[in-house]
Amino acid sequence: MRALLQRISHAKVSVNGKVIAESGPGLVILLGVGHTDGEEQALFLAQKISNLRIFEDQDGKFNHSILDISGEAIVVSQFTLYADTRKGRRPSFTDAALPGTASPLVDRFVELLSAQGVATQKGEFGAHMLVEIHNDGPVTIWLEK
Q: Which of 79, 116, 120, 121 is catalytic?
A: 79
Q: Give the integer Cα–Cα distance in Å for 107 and 84.
A: 25
Q: Determine whether 78 is an active site residue.
A: yes
Q: Are 28 and 140 in contact (CB under 8 A)?
A: no
Q: Give the integer Cα–Cα distance in Å for 107 and 46.
A: 12
72-77 and 26-32 strand pairing: parallel
Q: Which of 6, 41, 55, 78 is catalytic?
A: 78
Q: Determine whether 121 is an active site residue.
A: no
Going by the DSSP 8-state scheme, the letter that residue 124 receives in this structure is -
Q: Determine whether 79 is an active site residue.
A: yes
- Please report the sign of the dihedral spanned by the C-alpha atoms of residue 16, residue 17, residue 22, residue 28: positive
Where in the sequence numbering do the catalytic residues fall?
A: 78-80
